[in-house]
Amino acid sequence: MKIGAVFPQTEIGSDPANIRRYAEAVEEMGFDYILVYDHVLGANPDRPGGWSGRYNSGHMFHEIFVLLGYLAALTRNVQLVTGIVILPQRQTALVAKQAAEVDVLSGGRLRLGVGIGWNEIEYIGLGENFRNRGKRVEEQVTVLRELWTKPHVTFNGERHTIPDAGLNPLPVQRPIPVWFGGMSDAALRRMARIGDGWIANPIPYERLQASLEALRGYVEQAGRDPKQFGVDFRLNANQPPANSWAEEVERLDKLNVTHVCFGTMDAGFTDLDQHLEALRKFKAEVKA
């Protein structure tokens, strides 16, 4: 099992020295990867009609690919994970280019988590259609993989046209692994067909067990091997389990969860040292 740390996007602040200190400390602690959330625009919570979304304009989000390029230069071993890039609100070829560049700069350490998101305001601001995002994402993933594995691509799809063109440089990984977020049955079926793994939100153990059973059934129906399909589950410092963290990770291991990521946001921490201390305690306890 791989053990990761969630980059505290909304709480780390804008000082690049703190970002450096976080990345270097996480790698020194022996974490296997750093997972980073993605949002481009935050809605004004006082906008007409109000706002009930999880995040708003008061929450800081560093741009995910620029940040990962910076983290690539600061680290040597940890995998860099988007958890998740909201793919349908972005131009596909541009995402392919940005992801390939991060993969090159990191020496092949990128894992691209993608999903369809929930924030319609963000889609509107980026000029994309919120209503058909689920339909568009599958063709997007096909285009990404074409661009990552071929020097020249000719593609004529329902929503994408590439007239004999390609990326340079190509990524180190060909293709870059694409994992999916999402919890709905449609999302599970989609990732079973075309994904390399699932980045799951925190849910009760029993629901995770049922979702994994369904997902692995869908993977088999797609003619694929469930043992080759990764599962990344997040634990959060603000939701401690009834048992110990080590016992919780052991329970997840019995479900064949391949990755566990520990988040420190929303736990009442007021400075970076508190985030790092929580990570140290978690890593020492799980001893993975």
Listed in sequence order, the residues at least 6 apart from 187 whose beta carbon sits closer than 8 Å to its beta carbon are 115, 116, 180, 181
Counting as low any pLDDT under 70, the low residues of the chain are: 288
Q: Which residues contact 4 (CB under 8 A, 6 or more apart)?
A: 31, 32, 33, 34, 35, 79, 81, 232, 259, 260, 261, 262
Nearest-5° Cα angle at 59, 248 to 43: 120
- Give the model confidence (pLDDT) of 145-178 as tens digits: 999 999 999 999 999 999 999 999 999 999 999 9
Phi, then psi, of 184 in degrees rounded to 5 = -70, 165
Q: How does DSSP classify residue 202?
A: P
Q: pLDDT digits over 9-22, tens only?
A: 999 999 999 999 99
Measure CA 78 to chain center: 14
Q: Own/partner pairs for 190-195, CB < 8 Å, 24+ apart? A: 190/134, 190/137, 190/138, 191/215, 192/218, 192/219, 192/221, 192/222, 192/224, 192/229, 193/138, 193/218, 193/222, 194/138, 194/141, 194/142, 195/141, 195/229
Q: Which residue has the tokens 């993605």?
A: 38
The answer to whether 174 and 153 are in contact (CB under 8 A) is: no
pLDDT at position 288 is 58
Residue 38: what pLDDT? 96
Can you give the pLDDT at residue 105?
98
Are residues 197 and 232 in contact, defined by beta-carbon separation less than 8 angstroms? yes
Delineate the domains of the chain, giving CATH numbers in brackets.
2-286 (3.20.20.30)
Q: How many CB atoms lie within 10 A of CB 271?
A: 12
Helix, coil or strand: residue 85 = strand
Neighbours of 227 (CB within 10 A): 10
SS3 of 74, please? Answer: helix
Q: What is the pLDDT of residue 227?
A: 96
Q: What is the pLDDT of residue 180?
A: 98
Phi, psi of 9 (to 5 degrees): -45, -50
Q: Which residues contact 242 (CB under 8 A, 6 or more apart)?
A: none
Measured CA to CA in angstroms, residue 126 lies from 36, 39, 112, 129, 138 at distances of: 20, 11, 20, 9, 19
H helices of 75-204, in order, are 92-105, 120-125, 133-149, 185-194
